[in-house]
Amino acid sequence: MHSIAATLVIFAELTYYLLIAQTGIVEYLHSDIYSVAPLPLGGIVGSLGVAFLPLGLRGKLLLVLAVQTGMSLFYPEFNAAGLFVLGLGVGGAAPLVVMLSGRVKSGYIAAALIASYAVGTLLFNGIAPMHRMPLGVALAALGFGAALFIKPVASLTQPVKTSAHSLLLMATWVFLDSALFETLSREPEIAIWRGGYTAEIVFFHGVGVVAALLLPLSEIRRETVIFALFALSYLLYFLHEPWLLSVAYPFVISFYNMTILQTLRRLRGAKRIGVYMVAIGWLASGAGLLSALEHCIIYLPTIMALGAMLKPPVSFQLRSKS
């Protein structure tokens, strides 16, 4: 029951972030950076502050999911304070979901990702951003209900290997993804999510997750594959090849996200995971959104080239407490 409950929580939270926080509110507010700003600010505070709550993992999950459920009732008519509070809930959930993923087998994480991408893709087209209030309440309530069945687990404190290099790479992948996604959402002539390529997108999202889970690649080769796939996706965008883009881009999204989750789930300590989620989930994605709004996507292949040339330093041991 614990593994199934954890899978449902991960699925609900990933889908909520995609359809409510990322594409719902941002689209409803016309991607106005000043109007949207309280949401990521709340997300940063939530991701860092959740570690200091005097509760266990299940208690923290129930709290942040209750915040999401309550705030979803007001969607999409948020003022700045409402966006900030919603950000607290979404941001606080991010490191908790990572911690939860470290307590189930990889197959359950893959199932949650595949289901989230499939449902998210189908509902992205099926429900307009302004009409997603019932969906937001349902997803948050599903996560809350599933979290009731999460087993309390003792904190894990063994040392793990980590480095600034891996964090920089993951942030770069999220930045490249966010910039391309936000650019595509603003160009109707190559908007693959609204251009009749739903079947291809859903299928290759699933293929990407399975490939990341099963392919026996070394860390360096995996990083090279991700940068190569991003380079291919950007090339197909510049060439205006929507069908090929609907194959390559969903694959790399799933592949790199599964890789990130597999990396982060080995970390120990809510504080450290919170820092990672701020860098990856809020700063990098926000920078990608800003790049799309400023039409800077033409310069991003240079970032890919620089990222692909990065050499990992010698990893070091870090010991942290949850």
Q: Which of 158, 242, 250, 154 is nearest to 208 (CA)?
A: 250
* 322 occurs within a structural domain: no
Cα 18 versus chain centre, distance: 8
Length of the chain: 322
The CATH number that applies at residue 58 is 1.20.1250.20
For 255-299, the pLDDT digits (tens) are 999 999 998 988 877 888 999 999 998 999 989 888 888 888 877
Residue 318, strand partner residues: 160
Q: Whole-model pTM above 0.85?
A: yes
Sign (positive/negative) of CA torsion 52, 284, 34, 10? negative
* pLDDT tier, 320 (very low <50, low <70, confident <90, very high otherwise): very low
Mean pLDDT of 159-163: 57
Confidence label for 102 from pLDDT (cuts 50, 70 and 90): confident
The average confidence (pLDDT) of the chain is 88
Contact status, residue 113 vs residue 261, Cβ threshold 8 Å: yes
Q: Whole domain around residue 173: which residue ranges?
A: 2-149+164-311
Q: How far apart are CA 229 and CA 224, in angstroms?
A: 9
| CA 322 – CA 98 distance, rounded (Å) | 12
Q: Indicate the number of domains in the chain.
A: 1
C-alpha angle 196-201-204 in degrees, rounded to nearest 5: 150
* Residue 20 forms part of a structural domain: yes
For 166-213, how does the pLDDT look when each residue is reduced to its tens digit (9 = 90+)? 888 999 999 999 999 988 887 777 878 877 899 999 999 999 999 999
Residue 65 within any structural domain of the chain: yes
- Residue 92 resides in a domain: yes
Q: Would 155 be classed as within a structural domain?
A: no
The residue whose two tokens read 């999950």 is 61
pLDDT at 108 over 50: yes
| 20: pLDDT strictly greater than 70 | yes
Assess if residue 156 is contained within a domain: no
For residues 266 and 79, which has the higher predicted lDDT (pLDDT)?
79
Q: If you average pLDDT over residues 23-43, what whole number do you get?
A: 90
Tell me how far CA of residue 175 lies from CA of 58, 140, 172, in angstroms: 31, 26, 5
Residue 131 lies in a domain: yes
Beta strands in the chain (DSSP E): 160-162, 316-318
Instruction: Identify residue 6 by its one-letter amino acid code.
Output: A
Whether residue 141 is contained in a domain is answered as: yes
